[in-house]
Amino acid sequence: MSDRLVRIEEHRWLGDKRSFVVHDQDNVCDKAVLDDIAAAESWLTFGPDTSVEARNRGYKVCPACAAKSAD
């Protein structure tokens, strides 16, 4: 949880509105990806904070984040 973005540290799943990809902040593929989303202010959080809710809203789970969480 220490690598989560400061303004949204209470949310695990972070969507990128530009690409409709959702990233897992607890198993992020690359911290630079989150930094880019934050810099562009193109992020979206979900309620409830689950990958299922993100998929319900048309987002796809980042394959690299998903692979990392499977390790």
Distance CA 71, CA 58 (A): 26
pLDDT per residue over 4-52, tens digit each? 777 788 999 999 999 999 999 999 888 899 999 999 999 999 999 999 9
Angle formed at CA 42 by CA 31 and CA 25, multiple of 5 degrees: 35
Q: For residue 71, is pLDDT > 60? A: no
In the chain, domain spans: 6-70
pLDDT of residue 70: 62
Helical (H) or strand (E) element with 44:
strand 43-45
pLDDT of residue 24: 95
pLDDT of residue 32: 93
More confident residue, 18 or 66: 18
